[in-house]
Amino acid sequence: MAEPSLAVRRKSRPGSVSKRSRAPVQPSAVCSPVARKRLSSGGEGPPAETPCSNESEEDMFGDHDSFYGNDSLLAEVDDIEKKYLQDKNKNIKVAGEIIIGNQSGIHQKKQDNFSNSENTVVLKADKEDAFQMNENDTVDSNQELTESILDDLPSSQLLYFEKMRELSSGSRISPVSERRNKCVNFSLDEIRSPSFCPDTEHRNRPTDFSSESKCDLFKTETLKDHLKSAMTGNAKAQTLQVSKTKQLKEAVLSEEICVARKTIESSSVDIGPFYGLPSKVKDLFRQFRGIEMLYEWQHDCLMLESLQQRKNLIYSLPTSGGKTLVAEIIILQELLCRQKDVLMILPYVAIVQEKVRGLSSFGIELGFLVEEYAGSKGRFPPIKRRIKKSLYIATIEKGHALVNSLIETERIDDLGLVVVDELHMLGEGSRGATLEITLAKILYTSKNTQIIGMSATLNNVGDLQKFLQAEYYTNNFRPVELKEYVKIRDSIYAVDSKTENGFTFSRLLNFKYSSNLEKADPDHIIALVTEVIPKYSCLIFCPTKKNCENVASMLCKYLKKEFRAHREKEKQDLIKNLENIGNGSVCPILKQTVPFGIAYHHSGLTNDERKSIEEAYSTGVLCLLACTATLAAGVNLPARRVILRAPYVANDFLKKNQYKQMIGRAGRAGIDSAGESILIVQEKDKHLVQDLVNSPLENCYSSLLLELTKGMQSLLLSLVGLKIAVTHEEVNNFMCSTLLGIQQQLLSKEKSLSEIIKDGLENLIEKGLLKGRICEKDHNSECTLTITPLGKATYKGSIDLAYCNLLYRELKKGLEGLILESNLHLLYLATPYDMTSNCSPDWMIYLKQFNQLSAAEQKVVDIVGVPESFITKKASGQAIRKNVDSAVVNRLYLSFVLYTLLKETNIWSVSEKFNMSRGYVQNLLNSAASFASCVLRFSEELEEFWVYKALLTELTKKLTYCVKTELIPLMEVAGVLEVRAKQLYDAGYKTLAHLANANPETLVKVIEHLSRSQAKQIVSSAKMLLSEKAEALQEEVEELLKVPTDIPGTC
C-alpha cells in the first residue's frame, strides 16, 4: 500500500490561537518547507546574502522574540547553539537548511515549550482525509537540533527574500556568504511545477559541509542573529496575495499524483489513495456525480492483475451496471499518472457531446484537456501538447481519422489508452468496419497503447479476445433488479428460462375499458402506463417514428384530467421553450401531449427539441416518452417501467441485442427498488418471442467484407498510404491480425483471405489510388506499392471510395467556372452523396425554388448537369426523353434545402417550405457539415485544389452552426445549442471568455429553464474550450521561438 503522507504540526506560541499545518507529503519525498513556501514567489536560486551584522538595522524586538516580551525562544536557541559549537565531533548543519527526512518520518527536537513526547504527527489533507505515521527510528542529536528551528516561515517572508535577492544581485558576494547561501537555500526551479515528482536518490543525498565553511559561517552570523534577521524581514515585508489553502491543496495533489505514478509504473496491485489516483479525484466524483463509493464489481475490476500489468481488457455487464465509471477511472490514471493522451470512442455525436460536458469539469480541476472529435469538429493531427495531456472524445469515424493522423506523424505512442464503448458495434455494418480498422491499426503500430472495450451485449467473446489480445471480465450485476414480462392479450407472464416454454403466468391486467377505448387501445397501453405514471417514469419503445407520435397522441385523449395538474407550470414553461426553438412554431402533437407529461422522441426532432425533451424527462417534468430504438443506444434515460410496443424495429423482427438494450433502461439506480420491462406480443408472434427471450446474444462478426468500399478497400488503401504495409506479403500479415483474419474460415468460404486482398489491391490500382505491381512473394522493390496523390487525399479526407473519383471530377470541373456570387455552387459540392438515395423531390417545389434563383445561380444548375427544361417537364408531368442522372438531380435538390437553410437559419420554416420533416432537415445539415470538413481535408492534399481551402473552411463553420455569426463563439461550447446561445447572448454573455468566467448561480437566475447542474456544465465546458485554445496558441508561440538544432555553422 502506498505509504500515508504526513506533515508536522507545530505548537503555537503563547497567546497564538491559529495553527499552521503543512500539505501532506510522501515520507520519501519531503520537500524543504522554505522551498515549498516559495512555490508562488516566482524567484529562483538562493536568496541574497544576509548582512554579516544586524547592528545597522533597528532591533524591532530588543532581546525578545516577539512583541509579547518573551525572550525564551531566542535564549534557548542561543544556549543550544553554544552547546553544540563546543562539541567538535558534531556535524552541525547550517541554520535555515531544512533536513530532508528519511522514510521513517520527520523528527523534531522540542525542549521546554516543545514537547518531545508525541511520537505521532498528523495532517488533515482536507476535511476528510488524515494520514498518520509513527516515529520508530532513532535520530541523532544534530538532526534533532535543526529539524524545527525554522519549522515554518510566514508567507510574507517570501517577499523579503525576493527583495533581498534583487538588492544584492549586482553587488559582490563574499566567498563566505556564497558558501552560506548554498547551504541555506534550495533552488526552486525543479519544485515549482505542480506535477514535479522529486527523485528519491537526490532527495536523500546528504549535503557535504567542510568544517572550514561551517566555522566561517558561524563567524559571520550567529543563529540567533539569523533568526532575528528573518523576523525583522517578516515584520517589514508585505503579505503576498497568495491563498495558502490553494497552495496546500496543490501540494497535496502534486504529491499524490507522484505516489500514484510511481505505484502504477511498478505494476503493483498495492495502490495509492484512490486506485492510484489523488484523493481529490474521489472528492470530484462525489461532487460532480454524487458517487460516494464504488460497487463491489467495480472495485474487483479495477484491481485486476491484468489492468495493473496494462494488458488489454474487455469487460461486459448489463446496461446500467456502472461500466462507464470504471473506464473513467482508468482514463484518469492514464492522463494523470502515466502522463499519456487518451482516446475515447463513442457511437453517436450526442453521446460524445454529453461526455465532453461531463468530463470538462474534471479536466479543469485536474489539469488535462478534453477535446471533441465529432461532426465537423477536431484537428488532424491534433496539437502536440508539451505540458497538459489530452482526452480525445470521438465518434467512430473521427476516431479513425485521428488515429491515422497520429500514425502518419509518428505520434501513435503518445496515445497511452484507447477506450471503446459499445464494443459490439464491431459487427454493425460500415461503422463496425471502421471501428475494426481503427483498432487493428493501433494494435499493429503501437505496442504501448492499452485498449479497453466495454459492452452490455457480447457473445462470441473468444474471437474478440484474440483480435484485441485482451483479458475478459464479466459480471451479471445490476444496481436495480430487472423483472422481465411479456403481455399476451390481457395476461402478463414473467420470463423464466427454467420453464419449458420460457414463461410463467404472473397476473391478469386490471383495467376497465369502454368499447370505444378498447378499439382505440387494443393492446391496453393506457392500463400499463397508468400503473406507474405520473409518480414514476415510463418509456414506450415503438417500431416506427409515426407509431411514436400516434401512441403519445392516443394516450392524451384518454388520460384523466388530473394528469394535467402534475407540475403544470413547468410543463407550460417547456411548451414556451419549444415555441422559442421553432421561432413561434411548435409541433401540434407535442403541444397536445406535453400538458399530460407525455412526449415523443425520435430522429424527426431537431437537436434543440430533442435536448429540451430529454432534460424535461430527466427532471421529472415529463413522465412518459414514446420513442424509437435509437434512444436505447443513445443518451442514458432510465425509467421505472419499459414497454415494448411490438417485437419489431421498423419491419424487422427484434434482435436479442436490441431487446437487451431496450429493457436495460428499466430501473433507475438510487431511485427505484426494481425495474420492469413488458413486451407486448400478438398471438402470431408468440413462438418467435419465446425464441427471442431465451436465445443467446448474437455473435459479433467482422463487417470488412460486407462493406467493401468503406471496409476492405478503405483499409488496404490506408495501409499503403500510412506505410504500415506496402507489399502483398506485408498486407497479408496485417490482415491476419484483424477480426476478419481470425474469423476468415467463417466469413470467406469461397475465396481465401489472400485472394480477397489481391483482388482489393488490384481494384485500387485500377481506380488510380495505388500504383505498383502485386507479387505473391516480395523479392524486389518493383513489387512495393505506393499511394497516388488521389489515394492519399481519399484516405486522409475519409472519403468513401465509391465516390472519390466522382468528387475529384466535380471539384476539377468547379475550377473551370466556380460561381461564387452565392454559396449554392459550394453547397452542391459539400452535399453528401449518400443522402441522395433517400431523397424524393417535390417537383413543384423544385421548380419554384429554381425560379427564385438569380441568373448566376441558375447557371450553377446548368453547370452541374440539370437542365431547366428537365425540372419544368417534371413539374408539369410531361414525359422526359433525355436521361438525367437522378443522383445529380436529387443532390441539387438537397443543395437547395441547405441554401435556403443558411439564408433563413430556421429549420422549422425550411422544413415546411420543402415539405420535409424537421428532423430530416436537421440530419441533412449535420451530414453536410461533416462531409464539408472531409472535402476540405481532401482538397488540402491536392495542390491543384488550393483555392477550395479558404472557401470550404468558412462554409464548414456556417454549416456546423447555422446561426447568425455573433452566436458562433457561444455555440462552440459543448451542449450550447441555438436557443441557449440566443438566451446567453441576450443576457450579455457574448463571448467565450464571458461564459468561461460566468458564475453558474447568476446564470441560473438570468437564463430561463436552466438548471444549476446545466449551468455548471456550461461554464466548465467554456473554461475547457478557452483553456484548449490558449494552450494551442502557447504551443504555437513556443514552436516559433524554438531554436533550430541544425543552424549552419553551429556544432
d(CA 918, CA 585): 12
State the alpha helices, DSSP H only, in 221-348. 223-236, 244-265, 279-289, 296-302, 305-308, 323-332
d(CA 966, CA 988): 12
For residue 543, give the 3-state DSSP assignment.
coil
d(CA 597, CA 568): 9
Residues 6+ apart with CB under 8 A from 910: 897, 900, 901, 904, 916, 921
pLDDT of residue 706: 86
d(CA 437, CA 442): 9
Residues 6+ apart with CB under 8 A from 372: 352, 353, 356, 378, 393, 394, 974
d(CA 257, CA 4): 13
Residue, of 670 and 719, whose pLDDT is higher = 719
pLDDT of residue 924: 95
Residue, of 195 and 225, whose pLDDT is higher = 225
pLDDT of residue 576: 92
**Of 1000, 980, 996, 842, which Cα lies nearest the Cα of 911?**
842
pLDDT of residue 71: 52
Confidence of residue 881 (pLDDT cuts 50, 70, 90): confident
Indicate the burial class of 708 (C-beta count within 10 angstroms; 0-12, 13-18, 19 or more). middle
pLDDT digits 0-9 by tens, 680-708: 999 999 999 999 988 899 999 999 988 87
CA dihedral 135, 137, 143, 144 (to 10 degrees): 50
Residue, of 190 and 552, whose pLDDT is higher = 552
Return the half-sphere exposure (C-beta side, CA atoms, 13 A cut-off) of residue 412. 24
Give the containing element (helix H, strand E) for 599.
strand 598-601
Mean pLDDT along residues 592-599: 96
pLDDT surpassing 60 at residue 857: yes
Residues 6+ apart with CB under 8 A from 948: 811, 814, 935, 936, 939
> What residue ranges in 318-412 does DSSP mark as E strands?
341-345, 369-373, 390-394
pLDDT of residue 859: 94
Confidence of residue 880 (pLDDT cuts 50, 70, 90): confident
For residue 135, give the 3-state DSSP assignment.
coil
pLDDT digits 0-9 by tens, 270-299: 345 799 898 899 999 999 999 999 999 999
**Of 292, 401, 393, 281, which Cα lies nearest the Cα of 345?**
393
pLDDT surpassing 60 at residue 122: no
pLDDT surpassing 60 at residue 621: yes
Return the half-sphere exposure (C-beta side, CA atoms, 13 A cut-off) of residue 701. 12
Confidence of residue 802 (pLDDT cuts 50, 70, 90): very high
pLDDT digits 0-9 by tens, 525-547: 999 999 999 899 999 999 999 99
Grid coordinates of 717? 488503401
pLDDT digits 0-9 by tens, 388-437: 999 999 999 999 999 999 999 999 999 999 999 999 999 988 999 999 99
pLDDT digits 0-9 by tens, 477-508: 988 999 999 999 989 999 998 888 889 999 99
pLDDT surpassing 90 at residue 1022: yes
Return the half-sphere exposure (C-beta side, CA atoms, 13 A cut-off) of residue 227. 25
* Angle of CA points 366, 372, 374, to nearest 5°: 160
**Helix axes 396-408 and 789-796, enclosed angle (nearest 10):** 130
pLDDT of residue 636: 79
The DSSP call for residue 839 is: -
d(CA 1014, CA 981): 13
Q: What percent of the chain stands above pLDDT 90?
A: 55
Q: What percent of the chain stands above pLDDT 70?
A: 74
pLDDT digits 0-9 by tens, 457-478: 888 999 999 999 999 999 999 8
Residues 6+ apart with CB under 8 A from 738: 436, 437, 440, 467, 702, 704, 715
CB 107 within 8 A of CB 144: yes
pLDDT of residue 77: 57
pLDDT digits 0-9 by tens, 12-67: 333 433 333 333 434 333 343 333 333 333 443 444 444 444 443 444 444 444 44
Amino acid in the structure at residue 871: I
Residue count of the chain, please give it: 1051
Grid coordinates of 786? 505506393
Grid coordinates of 750? 469461397
What is the CA 595 to chain-centroid distance, rounded?
36
Chain mean pLDDT for the chain: 80
How far lies 404's CA from each of 339, 785, 793, 795, 873, in Å?
A: 22, 18, 13, 9, 48
pLDDT digits 0-9 by tens, 330-368: 999 999 999 999 999 999 998 999 999 999 999 999 999
d(CA 533, CA 639): 11
**Of 24, 20, 9, 451, which Cα lies nearest the Cα of 278?**
24
How far lies 473's CA from each of 25, 418, 701, 826, in Å?
A: 36, 17, 20, 50
d(CA 55, CA 232): 12
pLDDT of residue 228: 65
Residues 6+ apart with CB under 8 A from 1041: none
Q: Give me Rg for the CA atoms of the chain.
A: 35
Return the half-sphere exposure (C-beta side, CA atoms, 13 A cut-off) of residue 881. 0
State the alpha helices, DSSP H only, in 644-743. 656-663, 686-694, 713-721, 728-735, 739-742
**Of 204, 187, 254, which Cα lies nearest the Cα of 41?**
187
Mean pLDDT along residues 448-454: 97
Amino acid in the structure at residue 866: V
Strands 481-488 and 491-495: antiparallel
* Angle of CA points 293, 295, 299, to nearest 5°: 90
> What residue ranges in 415-537 does DSSP mark as E strands?
415-421, 450-455, 470-474, 481-488, 491-495, 503-508
**Of 988, 1037, 980, which Cα lies nearest the Cα of 1011?**
980
d(CA 3, CA 15): 36
Amino acid in the structure at residue 461: V
Cell 453558474 found at: 1000
Q: List the beta bridge partners of residue 491.
A: 488, 508
d(CA 681, CA 203): 72
pLDDT digits 0-9 by tens, 95-106: 344 333 343 333
Mean pLDDT along residues 131-153: 41
**Of 280, 297, 289, 284, which Cα lies nearest the Cα of 670?**
289
**Of 340, 46, 297, which Cα lies nearest the Cα of 166?**
46
pLDDT of residue 227: 63
**Of 160, 156, 154, 157, which Cα lies nearest the Cα of 48?**
160
**Of 833, 737, 725, which Cα lies nearest the Cα of 787?**
725
d(CA 634, CA 541): 13
pLDDT digits 0-9 by tens, 144-198: 434 443 344 444 444 545 555 555 454 444 444 444 343 334 333 333 333 334 3
For residue 277, give the 3-state DSSP assignment.
strand
